[in-house]
Amino acid sequence: MLPDCLSAEGEQRCRRLLAGATARLRARPAAAAVLVPLCSVRGVPALLYTLRSSRLAGKHKGDVSFPGGKCDPTDRDVVHTALRETQEELGLAVPEEQVWGVLRPVHDREKATVVPVLAGVGPLDPQSLRPNPEEVDEVFALPLAHLLQEQNQGYTHFCRGGHFQYTLPVFLHGPHRVWGLTAIITEFTLKLLAPGVYQPRLAGPSCPGAEGLPERALLWPGQAGSSPGLNKERF
């Protein structure tokens, strides 16, 4: 059964679990921060995502992401970065008191630290937002119940020289595929919000026939023909 993630009890539990890490990470510099917006869409708990503009320069254009970006020297800390970027991208002002805490940092291929900030943003209609068209092409929400259904979860296994290296989650069957760093952050969030419900399957397979081949993705289950993975990590 899906826990009531939006209840006062659920919020206090999350705040309590994140308190120590939040205090430590707010005192540390980071390259970037993202907001993980926990919202209610027509009464259904959901996470809010963006599709980055295809007009952006660089490798992250057209990616599914959480709102966020690089830390500015004038930002007080990573929480301020996440809130500022969210307002700039979506026109969504989130008061700091609605921040529940800071999740485990993730790192991109250049080893830059990206800090996820979890906030409860309340009832929301994604279609009512007015995103900055220079940065965002689309805003959409995925219900927690959708993300927690096993048929909507996939994994990308990476091998090199016949040896398993690592596994990354993928969330499927929504408006857009959620993968890369955004999927990793989504997994961290689900583990926090629904620890007895979300059961990630992270065991790696063997990689027969991979000897001598360049790095490749083995998709599981049933995702032949596409390879979402860390090679296109995003914020």
159-216 confidence digits (pLDDT tens) = 878 777 778 899 999 999 998 999 999 999 999 999 889 987 654 444 443 333 333 3
Torsion of CA 116, 30, 217, 179, to 10 degrees: 30
- Tokens 């996470």 correspond to 47
d(CA 49, CA 15): 22
pLDDT at res. 221: 36
d(CA 2, CA 144): 8
Contact yes or no for 64/234 (Cβ under 8 A)? yes
Q: How far is CA 192 from each of CA 75, 102, 178, 201, rounded to the nearest angstrom?
A: 27, 11, 18, 16
Using DSSP bridges, classify how beta strands 216-220 and 136-143 pair: parallel, antiparallel or unpaired: unpaired
pLDDT at 222 over 90: no
For residues 63-86, give the mean pLDDT.
Answer: 96
* Three-state secondary-structure class, residue 46: strand
pLDDT at 97 over 60: yes
For residues 54-82, give the mean pLDDT.
Answer: 86
pLDDT at res. 172: 96
- The proportion of the chain whose per-residue pLDDT surpasses 70, expressed as a percent, equals 81
Asked if omega into 105 is within 30° of 0 (cis), the reply is no
Buried (b) or exposed (e) across 15-27, using 16+ Cβ within 10 A? eeebeeebeebbe
Tokens at 172, concatenated:
């499927």
pLDDT at res. 224: 32
- Tokens 């595929």 correspond to 177
pLDDT at res. 108: 85
For residues 7-15, give the mean pLDDT.
Answer: 95
pLDDT at 122 over 50: yes
pLDDT at res. 62: 64
pLDDT at 72 over 60: yes
**What pTM, to 2 d.p., does this model score?**
0.84
pLDDT at res. 192: 96
